[in-house]
Copies of this chain bind each other. A is one copy, B any other.
Amino acid sequence: MSDTIPTTAKQLFSTVTEDGRLELAMRTVPVAEPGDDEVLIRVDAAPINPSDLGVMLTVADSNAFEAGENSASAAIPEAMLRHVASRKGVSIPIGNEGAGLVVKAGSAPAAQALLGKTVALAGGGMYATYRTAKASACMVVPEGTSAEEGASSFVNPLTALAMVGTMRLDGFKALIHTAAASNLGQMLVKLCLAEGIDLINIVRSQEQVDLLKGLGAKYVVDSSQPDFMKSLTEAIGETQAFLAFDAIGGGRLAGQILTAMEAAALKTQKANGPYGSTQHKQVYLYGGLNTAPTELSRGFGMSWSIGGFLLTYFLQRVGQEETAKLRAKVGAELKTTFASAYTSRITLEQAIEPAMIAAYNRRATGAKYLIMPQA
């Protein structure tokens, strides 16, 4: 196939410019020759995940982009500039994961074995027409699976598995998840149903309640309802879910979850004097959909913790062997538990149009964008 491979590729980059703007640009880059243990992948599909948006747009207003030459840019609010200071002048290739066809391979057997196969990988720089990668980083998608079906094989599936894995490692019995109608949230609903794990889904509209109930979710609580705290406390009492993963980050939600956990714990145990229940309560923040400060009222005793959560830290924690098992599980269930549904398919060029940037950053319920670099 090498006669059809171009010498240059198109690739998207995100840059904080010297004059304090966020720029998304499409650039022409040379197609690198794969090394011995590498392969060259023709990228066919790469999703836009919430975790991509953080890298792509930082704190720029997605409604304020202006078109430039093969680029678009928006001002970064003055007060937020110090948060992105370390990125100034650095062009970051974007797109965490994707899938495509291996069109060229290095001499190593592991690389040669992938030639002509459709592979999925995570590792950044996937919003590109071509990309080289270590053969060891590639996962061959199962027979009969398209690049589009394999494009989201890493971030969401492994994050859902990491949540369940953390629950087991840390000795919790059930889970709470916020922004639970997301693509990841829907996967987690299916995964927990399959594994018999109680999951409390926190959403913010009746539409989202209906969506998750339709998937078979048992516990769905709507934070926009006046009885939210009561419903949440009852669900925690039933499930003993003292571990939560929160994608919202800002505002009062994480603290409200800890408060509801404490109220549920105090239904079955006496308070330890002024120090509340001895039940350990953990909330992990894995996203920041609300960029406002996190506000904790601390009315939940002394046995609690809140912290950042990152998939890569979980994978380091469990080690390579367990990571390989989790990947294999994703591969085997790519069309069932870990299937992703896309509502919009766009080109690399479209991905840097101001109106499109505003659209895919809106993060509407159920909306999911897939970049098709060959289109």
Contact = CB atoms under 8 A, between A and B. Distances in A.
Interface of A: 54-55, 58, 83, 86, 92, 124, 249-250, 255, 266, 271-275, 278, 285-286, 288, 293-299, 301-310, 312-313
Per CB-CB distance, the 6 closest pairs between chain A and chain B, nearest first, are A305-B307, A302-B308, A294-B296, A302-B310, A293-B295, A55-B274
A203 to B, nearest CB: 22
A298 B255 contact: no
Given A55-B273, A302-B310, A305-B306, A86 B266 contact: yes
13 contacts: A83-B299, A86-B266, A124-B273, A249-B298, A250-B298, A272-B312, A285-B298, A286-B302, A293-B295, A295-B296, A302-B309, A306-B306, A306-B307
Contacts of A297: 293
Most chain B Cβ neighbours within 10 Å, of A54, A286, A288, A294: A294
A163 B35 CA distance: 51
A92 B273 CA distance: 9
Most chain B Cβ neighbours within 10 Å, of A288, A293, A312: A293
A247 to B, nearest CB: 13
Contact of A296 (B272, B275, B286, B296): B296
A309 B280 CA distance: 11
A89 to B, nearest CB: 14
B305 A298 contact: no
Contacts of A275: 310, 312
A271 B250 CA distance: 22
Most chain B Cβ neighbours within 10 Å, of A273, A274, A293: A274
A374 B185 CA distance: 63
B274 A54 contact: yes
